Amino acid sequence: MPSSITWGLLLLASLCCLVPASLAGGLQGDAVQDTDASENNDKSASHKIAPNLADFAFSLYRQVARESHTSNVFFSPVSEAAAFALLSLGAKGGTHTQILQGMNLNLKGLPESDTHQGLQHILDPLYQPEHQDQLSSGTLLFIGQKLKKVHTFLESVRKRYHVEGFSINLTDAEAKKRINGYVEKGTQGKAVGLVKGLDKDTALALVNSILFHGQCMDTFEAERPVERDLRVDKKTAIKEPMTSHVGTFALHQDQELCCWGLLQHLRGGVSAFLLLPRPGKMWQLEARLPQKHLSDILTAIDIRSASLHLPKLSISGTYDLVDVLGKMGITKVFSHGADLSGISEETPLKLSQALHEAGLAIDENGTEHAGPTLEERDWFRHLTIKFNKPFLVIIMDKSTNIPLFMGKMVNPMQN
């Protein structure tokens, strides 16, 4: 019997700084693009899977939020879906089916190749030059030197997901240091020591990184710093520096979900969508907000004059995906019954680690102020909306409205 081999999947999404488009030395620029299908077919496939991918994002959010009532929540559903879709290329049998079903990407009547093409088409804008100074994504595959590889798997992930592989000795004491060195170099020294450890039997590690620094491009008539009580929960309030903005904003008050929606335009074709529920209504918002209703809110948004009180938007989260995805039905790939024979001819092979880190920072360095400071009395003549209690944060790509990142701001001091 061959010896048991485990491999670690390390998903590291750090969104707090401006970085180059590739994670290491032009890696993505050298990736081979899939040219088997026309652009129109790619678009058609992406439109077909977009609602399913969005539903996965909201289902994943609800699973994470269920265990984080008093904590911040933040993650990248697109990053997680892409990593596990990539993994499915090397999975077979029930393991393969369960991964796609768990991500809601096992569509009837749609060939699996189209599913991967559609996901690739959604991800492709992240690699374009207009996103390079704000949003970038890259994936590195570290393969154990002694692992007997299935080269069709390596070719597939290279073509479909812009992933290149590095063959290194993962059992060496310096392996963790080498991997962290690649990541640190690619993030200009911002992501340090992200890989905490590797199991002694690790045969393959996948490091996925998305980096984002948002700059709000909306204009205001005036702004000023304020300090307000921020209500963390019924019993806890903290003093938090906020900024009060007076101007015109993209707003909508949704009566069904009992919340305000604020759309902020960021650089690079990305939007921030903030949802502020009425006191005591967060549970209702989290339970009832599907992608379709989000689309309805976006359609109903109107430009209104208001005074907004906003904290600095900085949020992060770290999750063990073995636990989170296991509760969503993805279990086989983490068990000794996993079938990952499409990755290596050596068996048994299972996924032993699946870690996800995400963080977000949005500032207003790019804001242009449209007029002089208002008189004190003028601040009170506007509709006032205070983001001084927990609210949802959704970062979307404008072209698809797919949630690139989702979260809940509960306590800014947690960061």
What tens digit of pLDDT does each residue of 188-205 get?
Answer: 666 677 778 787 777 777
Please choose, from the candidates 389, 365, 386, the residue with its C-alpha nearest in 3D space to the C-alpha of residue 285: 389
How would DSSP label each residue in 64-101?
HHHT-TTS-EEE-HHHHHHHHHHHHTT--HHHHHHHHH
What tens digit of pLDDT does each residue of 106-129 get?
Answer: 888 888 988 888 888 877 766 665
Q: Which CATH number fits domain 7-214+315-360: 3.30.497.10, 2.120.10.30, 3.50.50.60, 3.40.50.1580?
A: 3.30.497.10
Instruction: Fill in the DSSP letter of residue 139.
Output: E
Cis link prior to 277 (omega < 30° from 0)? no
Task: Give exposure, 222-241, as e/b (b: 16+ Cβ within 10 Å).
Answer: bbeeeebebbbeeeeeeebe
Alpha-helical regions (H) of 301-391: 321-326
Cβ burial of 92 (10 Å; 0-12, 13-18, 19+) is: middle
* Rg for the chain, CA atoms, rounded: 22
Task: Give exposure, 345-381, as e/b (b: 16+ Cβ within 10 Å).
Answer: ebebbbbbbbbbbbbbbbebeeeeeeeeebeeeeeee
How would DSSP label each residue in 12-58?
E---SS---SSSSTTTGGGPPP--SS-HHHHHHHHHHHHHHHHHHHH
CB atoms near residue 329 (< 10 Å): 12
Question: Rounded distance, CA 291 to CA 223, Å?
Answer: 33
Question: Rounded distance, CA 284 to CA 258, Å?
Answer: 8
Q: Are 221 and 370 in contact (CB under 8 A)?
A: yes
For residue 316, give every residue at least 6 positions away whose Cβ sits within 8 Å of its Cβ, in sequence order, or none: 16, 72, 74, 357, 358, 359, 360, 415
Q: Which CATH number fits domain 215-311+365-414: 3.40.30.10, 2.30.39.10, 1.10.260.40, 3.50.50.60?
A: 2.30.39.10
* Fold agreement between 7-214+315-360 and 215-311+365-414: no
CB atoms near residue 278 (< 10 Å): 14
Question: Rounded distance, CA 214 to CA 83, Å?
Answer: 23
Please choose, from the candidates 219, 392, 228, the residue with its C-alpha nearest in 3D space to the C-alpha of residue 313: 392
Structure-token pair, residue 72:
């911040």
Rounded to two decimals, the pTM is: 0.81
Question: Rounded distance, CA 7 to CA 9, Å?
Answer: 7
Q: Are 254 and 278 in contact (CB under 8 A)?
A: no
- Taking only the tens of pLDDT, the chain with its 415 residues reads 333 333 333 443 333 222 222 222 322 333 334 444 456 666 788 888 888 888 899 999 999 888 776 788 998 888 888 889 989 999 999 999 999 999 999 888 888 988 888 888 877 766 665 555 566 566 677 877 777 778 888 888 888 887 777 788 887 878 888 888 877 776 666 667 777 878 777 777 777 666 666 777 776 665 677 777 777 777 777 777 788 888 889 999 998 889 999 998 887 777 889 999 998 898 888 888 776 677 788 888 999 988 888 888 888 888 888 889 999 999 999 888 889 889 887 767 788 777 777 777 776 543 344 344 555 555 556 788 999 899 999 988 777 778 888 999 988 777 6
Structural element, H or E, at residue 185: helix 175-186
Sequence ranges of the domains in the chain: 7-214+315-360, 215-311+365-414
Whole-angstrom distance between the N-terminal and C-terminal Cα of the chain? 48
